[in-house]
Amino acid sequence: MSHRIGIRIAAMALLMSACASALAQGGKPTASSQTAAAPPAASSPAPTDHQLAAAVRHALHATRKRGLKSTFIRVHARDGAITLTGVVADQDQIALAISVAQGVQGVRTIASKLEVRSDGEMKGSQ
């Protein structure tokens, strides 16, 4: 008799384990687990304009090893729209700056007002 009870307990444990596994893999959750679930990551608040501009500036600065000289690039953000102004040494740097800015999370659009100037013209603060 105790052997049957042991089998039943093992079967119930196996069934509970299978249910928990199915739930973890995308099965329908119960009402109680819905209220305890964390909100999805996609609903995180959008960065402020200041935070977004700082993130773009940081990304531009981090690209210096790829040839981008971001010293004279100014970044303005407004509701996910980024405006890049200033001067760079060549057309390739404009394309690289735009590409890097587009890769920053939260950026919706890019407006480039960057101008090409030779290195000799880029001395001091432009």
Q: Is the pLDDT reported for residue 119 higher than 60?
A: yes
Q: Which amino acid is at 60?
A: L
Q: In angstroms, how far is CA 17 from the centroid of its own chain?
A: 35
Q: Greater confidence, 83 or 118?
A: 83
State pLDDT tens for residues 64-103: 999 899 999 999 999 999 999 999 999 999 999 999 999 9
DSSP annotation of 25: T
pTM as predicted: 0.61
d(CA 75, CA 101): 10
Q: Give the pLDDT confidence score for residue 77 in this predicted structure.
A: 97
Backbone dihedral region of 106: left (phi > 0), alpha (psi from -120 to 50 degrees) or beta? left
Q: Which amino acid is at 112?
A: S
Q: Return the CA Rg of the chain.
A: 27
Q: Give the pLDDT confidence score for residue 46 in this predicted structure.
A: 81
pLDDT band at residue 118 under the 50/70/90 scheme: confident
